[in-house]
Chains A and B, each alone.
Chain A
Amino acid sequence: MTTNINPRLTQVFRFVRCSYANGVAELVYAFDHGEELTERVTFPHAPALPASHQAAFDEALKLLHLIAGVSYYKAGVPPRIEVAGGRLDDATANLLDALYLHGLAEFAYRNGLDLRGRIAFPRGGAAKPEAKALKLPHRTLVPIGGGKDSLVAVEAIKSIGGEATAVWVGNSPLIAACAERTGLPTLNIQRELAPGLFELNRLGAWNGHIPVTAVNSAILAVAAILYGFDSIAFANERSASAATLEYEGQLVNHQWSKGYTFEALLGDWLHQHVAADLDYCSLLRPYSELAVTRTFARLTLYFDAFSSCNRNFKILGPKPADRWCGQCPKCHFVFLALAPFLAKPRLLSIFGRNLLDDENLAAGFDALLEYQDHKPFECVGEGAEARAAMYALSQRSEWQEDALVARFRSEILPQLDEKELAIEPWLQPSPDHRIPSRLQPALAFFG
């Protein structure tokens, strides 16, 4: 492909068209009058779509087109957004404005951009009538990420005998291995980014974090209608709703699309536009990271398969270092959050090393504790939560001499109020969640 535009100087981002045939959705975008960028999403063994589901499917596909555009839009962040087929109804425009603004907040912060006032999807289109129930089968799509959270969600649903399919997007051998370990039927959807995006990157496109959970959610909404599922159960904790930092008056949350606000926006949108009986929720929403790690600590089955490390391990090896880089905030956080709930040698055998006895990692753990730094741009728990876990370890003889725990005791702890460091309050569920009544008994799994 030969494009010679400078993506950062583009004026219009255009949603050109989307289509679906034979299990493949094509999502087409363009900048200005440049070449079309075509993304393909492939749904394996896609069944024929009953006519009764066509309207719902079209709505879901359209939303996928609009949401997946965020990967391309961010390359240039042009001042105007055009959608072929005309203006969006206000609910849709609200959802997208919010998603593009908050989902790209970290991207904007990192690149020194201000997107406020810049993102405006064309609105004012006629609202459609409320979607009807489609009598979708009582089964759940559970997206698997390879980390602890989705595996806890899987086991919670299994514990009530719920019918579920482990689903993931893309080619990750780690996720495939975890999905297989769940024993559930699996569904692997492929997403192929437009090759032109790589070319834009080479030409100096803006780059950075995008709200990938939103994209995956939209893909699963299409899949739910296509294959017949009445629920999509993500595994986003309570802490996903907490902001990473505030920047020039705007809250920046790395995990915005894993947060409760987005869950509610998308869940309501799907009920209105796609199917009244398609539920979108997070099964882990009432829980803190610590409550989830405590539950995960019982699931020995997954100890040698899972990884929450954010390095993309495209090639799997047998050693812990082949799944845990030990350097990234995710590694640090999961290590810290599991530590209060696992025998120390077992935890260390999972990671292959003791991250809390490595002085070089002090800065990384400080950031988790929000000590001298802001929380990292990662899907990690709240600072107070990390402090509670660290405090618990500092009271335990088998941990307290480890370099970073000892440092916590001597340097950080004297500045904290011990009353606020108890772990127990973190283990209490909170009442806010959107889990449909059919799946609510699964919450008993968290004990």
Chain B
Amino acid sequence: MKFGGTSVATLPRWQNILELVASRRAEGARVLVVVSALSGITDALKQMCAQEDKGKRIEAAKAIAQRHYDLLDHMQLAVPGTLADRLAELAQLAEDGPSLLGELAWSALVQAHGELMSSALGSAFLTHSGLPTQWVDARDCLSAIALPNQNERTKLLSAMVECKPDPALNARLAEWGEVFITQGFIARESQGRTVLLGRGGSDTSASYFGALLKAQRVEIWTDVAGMFTANPRQVPSARLLQRLDYEEAQEIASTGAKVLHPRCLSPLREPRVPLLIKDTNRPELEGTFIGPEVREHAPSVKAISARKGITLVSMESVGMWQQVGFLADVFANFKQHGLSVDMIGSAETNVTVSLDPTENLLDSDALAALASDLAKVCRVKVIAPCAAITLVGRGMRSMLHTLSSVLAEFGQLRVHMISQSSNNLNLTFVVDENVVDELLPHLHELLITAGALRTDDSALFGPSWQALYGSGEVLPPTASWWRDGRRADLLKLGAEHTPRYVYHLPTVRQQARELKTLAAVDRLHYAVKANTHPAILKALAEEGFGFECVSPGELKAVMAVVPESAPLLFTPNFAPREDYEWALTTRATLSLDSIYQLEHWGEVFRGREIVLRLDLGRGLGHHEKVRTGGSGSKFGLPVEQLDAFLRLADTHGVTVRGLHAHLGSGILDDGHWGEVYGQLASIAERIGSVTFLDIGGGLGVPSHPGEARLDIAALDKVLREVKAAYPHYKLWMEPGRYLVADAGVLLTKVTQTKGKGNGTIRYLGVDTGMNSLIRPALYEAWHEIVNLTRLDEEATALFQVVGPICESGDVLGTDRRLPEPQEGDVMLVAQAGAYGKVMSSPYNLRDEAEEIILE
């Protein structure tokens, strides 16, 4: 059992260790505890080593001793003899300085004292607390080996130990006791000098001991429950990985996960000793179990990671690569300039390699010198800053077909290099660094949606980081009006006639009221394109919403039902001149989004106040087609044309009263609106006439089970922060789907079933499809589908739920686990309140779905 620096720094943490060790002891295991130095002590020792003044060294040693005295005091323990010896030795080392032992050996010995002291202290505490614990000097067990290419520094400060199971050591310990404590980070070399194991050293020590003793398992106790499918700081919805094999775990650790140093896995592989990562504060959590490969799981991507600060060197040459020794000469240049190559990608005329961010790379002339040497033999291009995005999972190549949506995502970026090695464990894309922060959560989501990251396998994937450490709330299966309160009504409606859309007005109102809690927002407009049913428009008008319309038709529909007092926005895109002219005869506030409109129809707008829709140069959202920012999107005026637009506006006496940006739909990250808001505000400061900012909508509605809802309180906080910086601008928003998606369902009936491929693929046919609900076909949108007639029956088989339209894309849902259906069962497609009926079509001349309102 290994415990790190913060775990051994205080009395409560030691009490925790005591409990954990006792519990393992109670299971009948003998326990070897490996500890790090008290947190901060290793750094203090390093500083002491750098100190040339003897007096100051002695002072530093005293301060370090005091830290241990203080903790002992807290434990109400006297200074144990083992610790007193160590402290005396440290004081002597401070006194002597490096001259006697030599700089490096002295420094190694000084630093080793951190662990020597913490373990001595721990031995006393555990023994005193009723758990007799023997202090073991790790240096007597771990012998460093000499390696070729080792200099004195690496030999002493980042040593390696070769570990074969050592039954003699086992026997020795068995005679001696049941519980032992020893040091991480340190070992002894052939001349008897103390050496350090370098970075990740304490975890590695634990592994060495695990291998030496052929332990039942190695447990790394830390402050997080294990490895996750992605870095939780970047992807809060990352899931705990509960089962990994050594190679996968090593790959994940090497490509980003900080919880475990990659080098600590290899000693365990041969003796097949499993390693378990556990959270000291939450021992009840499963943790991550790493062991030999197992075959009973479906192939799955296990994790996605990103490493930043990567520099690529691309070398272009015609016909040279085939010459014997050419590449060897090229790589000799890298060696000569002290730059180590990580990934390599090659084509007939190009070899591209990646360099990790090292001090040598960042702050010396090494790269410039390398480039000028390489330029003698080929064309060199240095590409940076890049990030390597890596998908890790055993059998990556067999999963390629599931990755199409992920690959499509990369298709929109500058991918500089793709690397896949023969161990078939990873697939790496090198892209521009600045896209990574937004890309990673999106890719993680895509991997789940695409079925490449099989989070449905609960043996492999645990809860999300957000559920474990975020708000702490585990999401209950979403309560929904159609499941709980109104099911009988829906069954009756479905029995009468299908297909039917049913809208639940109380849900619309509830969503509207939730958004009204956003204190920073001064005005909310309902984006009516989501659903133009008059009852919904009326309900939202009653809630005080304004209305955002994109066509004269929508404006007319709204004006027919809402009172005169409700504010109207007209925000068309590529609309004809007549639309603008007509809209100017209404009370709607008009938005423009291109130079053309002022250049060619400027006089139409003379003396008017308008809203300018900007393209902030990037887009977000759950699918390419719902993204509305970035040059690949037809919306908005590019920021670089702003000055030209303003000059034209001035010429035509047009006043820009508001700025608007809308980056996409289905966004679940609350920080995003803060960024858009802040960016708009900083642009508005250049335009005197602006009084309000419209940050659009796009508030995401989670569709997959377990997906976290948008945190409205957090969003409010983000918006209020920006508002505090820019109080002089009113803030507008334009939610659409958020208000109505959950309020609507589509009812349809089972028409038949069909089996293909020896019954491995089963189709469940219903009486409407993409003609009523096109989102699954258009955006690969995921809608929950249930058999309302058999809601309480066990879901036994996987179905492709398809409609009657003559298109192979007429699929409402793939791989849905449902009860065995009967012809005539009422099926319910959830979250169909937004972009359902309004996007339906008469294709195949099938009857259109009716719309029913539930109060």
Binding site for B on A (CB under 8 A): 171, 198, 201-202, 204-205, 207, 300, 311-315, 319-321, 327, 343-346, 348-349, 352-354, 357, 396-399, 401-402
Contact = CB atoms under 8 A, between A and B. Distances in A.
B374 A345 contact: no
Interface string B194-208: 000000000000000
A353 B432 contact: yes
Contact of B722 (A198, A207, A300, A315): A315
A436 B380 CA distance: 49
14 contacts: A171-B725, A202-B689, A300-B363, A311-B682, A314-B682, A314-B726, A344-B382, A345-B309, A345-B355, A345-B367, A345-B384, A353-B433, A398-B368, A398-B382
A344 B368 contact: yes
Contacts of A315: 674, 678, 721-722, 725
Given A202-B689, A344-B384, A397-B368, 20 more contacts: A201-B688, A202-B691, A314-B726, A319-B434, A343-B365, A345-B357, A345-B361, A345-B362, A346-B362, A349-B309, A349-B362, A349-B384, A352-B385, A353-B432, A357-B383, A397-B372, A397-B380, A398-B367, A398-B380, A401-B381
Interface string B299-338: 0000000000101001000000000000000000000000
B106 to A, nearest CB: 30
Nearest to B433: A352
A354 B383 contact: yes
Identify the interface centre among A205, A312, A320, A399: most chain B CB within 10 Å of its CB. Answer: A312
Contacts of B366: 343
Interface string B407-432: 00000000000000000000000001
B364 interface: yes
A99 B360 CA distance: 49
B471 to A, nearest CB: 22
Nearest to A311: B682
A6 to B, nearest CB: 12
Chain A to chain B: the 6 pairs with minimum beta-carbon distance, closest first: A201-B688, A397-B371, A398-B371, A401-B381, A397-B375, A314-B725
A205 B368 CA distance: 52
B639 interface: yes
Interface in B360-399: 361-368, 370-372, 374-375, 379-385
B543 interface: no
Contacts of A401: 314, 379-382
B434 A343 contact: no
Interface in B683-723: 685, 688-689, 691, 721-722
A352 to B, nearest CB: 5
Contact of B437 (A312, A319, A397): A319
B640 interface: yes
Contacts of B54: none
B645 to A, nearest CB: 15
A327 B640 contact: yes
B655 A204 contact: yes
A397 B363 CA distance: 17
B728 A198 contact: yes
Contacts of B508: none
Contacts of B383: 354, 357
A354 B314 CA distance: 15
Nearest to B722: A315
B83 interface: no
Given A315-B721, A348-B384, A397-B372, A343 B367 contact: yes
Question: For chain B, which range describes its interface: under 10, 10 to 19, 20 to 34, or 35 or more residues?
Answer: 35 or more
A145 to B, nearest CB: 17
A300 B726 CA distance: 32
A174 to B, nearest CB: 12
A321 B366 CA distance: 27
Q: Name, among A207, A314, A357, the residue most crowded by chain B CB atoms within 10 Å (CB to CB).
A: A314
A204 B656 CA distance: 11
Interface of B: 309, 311, 314, 355, 357, 361-368, 370-372, 374-375, 379-385, 432-434, 437, 639-640, 655, 674, 678, 681-682, 685, 688-689, 691, 721-722, 725-726, 728
Nearest to A173: B725
A349 B375 contact: no
Contacts of B434: 319-321, 352-353
Contacts of B363: 300, 343, 346
Contacts of A205: 688
Interface hub of B314, B357, B368, B639 (most chain A Cβ within 10 A): B368
Contacts of A398: 367-368, 370-372, 380, 382
A198 B367 contact: no
A313 B685 CA distance: 11
Nearest to B640: A327
Instruction: Identify the interface centre among A205, A327, A348, A398: most chain B CB within 10 Å of its CB.
Output: A398
Contacts of B311: 344-345, 348
A23 to B, nearest CB: 23
A357 to B, nearest CB: 7
A204 B382 CA distance: 50
A71 to B, nearest CB: 12
Most central of B365, B372, B381, B725 by chain A CB within 10 Å? B381
B368 A354 contact: no
Contacts of B432: 353
B357 A349 contact: yes
A157 to B, nearest CB: 25
A251 B380 CA distance: 44
A353 B436 CA distance: 12
A354 B688 contact: no
Nearest to B653: A204
Nearest to A317: B675
A204 B728 CA distance: 17
B722 A343 contact: no
Nearest to A206: B688
Given A202-B688, A312-B682, A353-B434, A396 B372 contact: yes
A353 B639 CA distance: 19
Q: Interface centre among A201, A349, A397, by most B CB within 10 Å?
A: A397
Nearest to A357: B383
Taking each of A198, A315, A348, which has the highest tally of chain B beta carbons within 10 Å of its own beta carbon? A315
Given A198-B688, A207-B688, A343-B362, A354 B384 contact: yes
A354 B385 contact: yes
Nearest to B373: A397
Nearest to B365: A343
A357 B374 CA distance: 20
Contacts of A202: 688-689, 691
A397 B374 contact: yes
Contacts of A397: 368, 371-372, 374-375, 380
A245 to B, nearest CB: 16
A343 B357 contact: no
Contacts of B365: 343
Contacts of B721: 315
B653 to A, nearest CB: 9
A207 B688 CA distance: 7
Contacts of A320: 434
Nearest to A318: B437
B412 to A, nearest CB: 16
Nearest to B728: A198
Nearest to A363: B640
A352 B382 CA distance: 15
Nearest to B685: A312
Contacts of A354: 383-385
Contacts of A343: 361-368
Contacts of A311: 682
Contacts of A353: 385, 432-434
Contacts of A319: 434, 437
B57 to A, nearest CB: 27
Contacts of B382: 344, 398-399, 401-402
Nearest to B360: A343
A271 B674 CA distance: 48
A151 B216 CA distance: 59
B618 to A, nearest CB: 10
